[in-house]
Amino acid sequence: MTRRLLAAAAALTLTLLTACGGAGTGGRDGTIEYWLWDSGQQPGYQKCADAFHQENPSLQINISQYGWDSYWSKLTAGFIADTAPDVFTDHLARFAQYVDLEVLRPLDDLGPTSDIRDADYQQGLAELWKGQDGKRYGAPKDWDTVALFYDKAALTAAGVDPAQLQNLSWNPQDGGTFEKLVAHLTIDANGVRGDEPGFDKTHVKTHGLASEGAGGGGWGQTQWSAFAASAGWQVTDKNPWGTHFNLDQPALQDTLSWYFGLKDKGYLPTYAEIGGSNSIGTDKQIQSGIAAMGISGSWMISTFSKLTDANGKKLDIAIAPTPIGPTGKRASMFNGLADSVTTLSKQPENAAKWVKFMSGEQCQDLIGQSGVVFPARPGATDLAIAYNKTERNLDVTPFTNQVRDKTTFLFPVTTNAADITALLQPRLDAVYLGSEPVSSLTDLNNQLNDLFKVAQ
């Protein structure tokens, strides 16, 4: 165990260690332990596991699924207590930290995964999973972007043609046509809309735009990132492995002043309305009538497609692209998941076989046919688009067009990821609450930049 991992172990509480219990150690005797957090994806990966077993009769895949929060607690504890799985679904928000802690095996050094090619996956996706040493630590499994989910009934009641959502624009001065729509979709307790005389912003029944919190845990992925990027802002000087943060730039601070200012106008839910840091998602806000529309990720397509009203009637949900910003372009964060092999695996070559299979055409096509996510391979992505069109009558191209039109930007991958989140999250929460000004991000930016100066 490295000195840095020992330091991480010392920082964890006893409850974190015991959270792992005895469940899940690296597999033995041909059983490969695989962990994921998304219950929606488990059936598809079970099909992949069955197909893998047919090709490799001596190997079995045991899939364990945990909820998002407990997943990372169990995994971190597993690295410390030697109970981690052979393979796990990795996230870019955690990836850099795990590379630093030396708990991931370089896939280049394992026979089955040594020949993974960047060109087989959506452009730019595979490169994200390489460390500063140039080695690959994750095999791409899927990707995601963001878009606007909306309730068609809310637009109909407001007299809004859905076609208007295809060409919305915004700016940090007056919000543009996007804010005009958000205002019109907002309704107070007396039935007065946000753009009508007599609107009471202190007693709002339905907000025009949903909120998923301040966004400090994921660089505003489903909150403000699409706005900031379409204003020309980027998190760091380069990505991945940037060495300077840009939270002091006007493009970000002006964007956040406008975005969080929607709350003060009654157009966006307050921090308390969404449950604070444990916020209810955009799907629940639309379902309950708290909001008419909201930005969310493509990983939520399946969830939105199943929403019903209080009487059990299926909601008619549709998707629109993010608005065009001051740069004249739309924007969406381009994030992805990958499968990684742990250094604790007692059968790394077998684990690598499973990772290679999941990133291969056969498994990717099975996942695409399930319509839950967009697989990393372009051909499998096309299968997911077709499934949503035929089985759900849902046009999901507002997500995929961002990739086609090259209007995406990559999730920031940096060192010191855990420390960055620990500093960023409370500060952005404070900005959302109004207890700190947006300008306070300049001081935070200096703190984050100092992290790069700390000896590794």
Could you tell me which CATH class the domain 146-333+414-451 is placed in?
A: alpha beta
* Phi-psi sector, 310: left (phi>0), alpha (psi -120 to 50), beta: alpha
pLDDT at residue number 415: 84
Give 14 or 316, the one with higher predicted confidence.
Answer: 316
Token digits of residue 84: 């981690």
Query: What is the tens place of the pLDDT at every residue in 404-449?
Result: 999 999 999 888 888 999 999 999 999 999 999 999 999 999 999 9
Instruction: Give a three-class secondary structure readout of 264-323.
Output: HCCCCCCCCCCCCCCCCCHHHHHHHCCEEEEEEEHHHHHHHHCCECCCCCECCEEEECCC
The mean per-residue pLDDT over the stretch 182-211 comes to 98
Question: Which residues lie closer than 8 Å to 435 by C-beta, 6 or more apart?
Answer: none
pLDDT at residue number 15: 30
Q: Is the pLDDT of residue 1 over 80?
A: no
Confidence category of residue 20, pLDDT binned at 50, 70, 90: very low
Q: Is the pLDDT of residue 340 over 50?
A: yes
Give the CA distances from residue 437 to residues 253, 257, 270, in Å, rounded to whole numbers and listed in that order: 10, 9, 16
The mean per-residue pLDDT over the stretch 345-356 comes to 97
Q: Can you tell me which residue has the tokens 């001065």?
A: 173
Backbone angles phi, psi at 339, to 5 degrees: -105, 130
Confidence category of residue 455, pLDDT binned at 50, 70, 90: very low
SS3 375: strand
pLDDT at residue number 17: 34
Separation CA 100–CA 132 (nearest Å): 10
Query: What is the tens place of the pLDDT at every residue in 290-328?
Result: 999 999 999 999 999 999 999 999 999 999 999 999 999
Token digits of residue 168: 């919305």
pLDDT at residue number 69: 84
Residue of 414, 100, 73 lying closest to 236 (CA atoms): 414
What homologous superfamily does CATH list for 3-143+337-383? Periplasmic binding protein-like II (3.40.190.10)
What are the extents of the domains in the chain?
3-143+337-383, 146-333+414-451
How many other C-beta atoms can be found within 10 angstroms of the C-beta atom of residue 197? Answer: 6
Whole-number mean pLDDT of the chain?
92
Q: Is the pLDDT of residue 2 over 60?
A: no
- Decide whether 3-143+337-383 matches 146-333+414-451 in CATH topology: yes
- DSSP letters of 65-99? E--HHHHHHHHHHHHHHT---SEEEEEHHHHHHHH
Q: Is the pLDDT of residue 4 over 60?
A: no
Separation CA 314–CA 121 (nearest Å): 35
- DSSP letters of 333-373? EEEEEEEEEBTT-S-HHHHHHHHHHHTSHHHHHHHHHHTSS
The mean per-residue pLDDT over the stretch 19-32 comes to 57
374-375 and 204-209 beta bridge pairing:
unpaired
Query: What is the tens place of the pLDDT at every residue in 76-112?
Result: 999 999 999 999 999 988 898 899 889 999 999 999 9
pTM given for the model:
0.90
Query: What is the tens place of the pLDDT at every residue in 120-140?
Result: 999 889 998 999 999 999 999
Confidence category of residue 27, pLDDT binned at 50, 70, 90: low
Q: Is the pLDDT of residue 456 over 50?
A: no
pLDDT at residue number 183: 98
pLDDT at residue number 452: 78
Token digits of residue 94: 């955690």
pLDDT at residue number 453: 72
- Least confidently predicted of 8-22, 193-207, 292-306: 8-22
pLDDT at residue number 8: 42
Share of the chain above pLDDT 90, in %: 83
Separation CA 215–CA 429 (nearest Å): 8
Separation CA 295–CA 282 (nearest Å): 7
Confidence category of residue 273, pLDDT binned at 50, 70, 90: very high
Give 138 or 12, the one with higher predicted confidence.
Answer: 138
The one-letter amino acid at 230: S
The one-letter amino acid at 430: A
Q: Can you tell me which residue has the tokens 């065009």?
A: 324
SS3 114: coil
pLDDT at residue number 212: 93
Query: What is the tens place of the pLDDT at every residue in 248-272?
Result: 999 999 999 999 999 999 999 999 9
How many other C-beta atoms can be found within 10 angstroms of the C-beta atom of residue 427? Answer: 18
Look at the alpha carbons of 291, 297, 300, 306 in this order and tell me if their dihedral is positive or negative: positive
pLDDT at residue number 166: 96
Confidence category of residue 26, pLDDT binned at 50, 70, 90: low
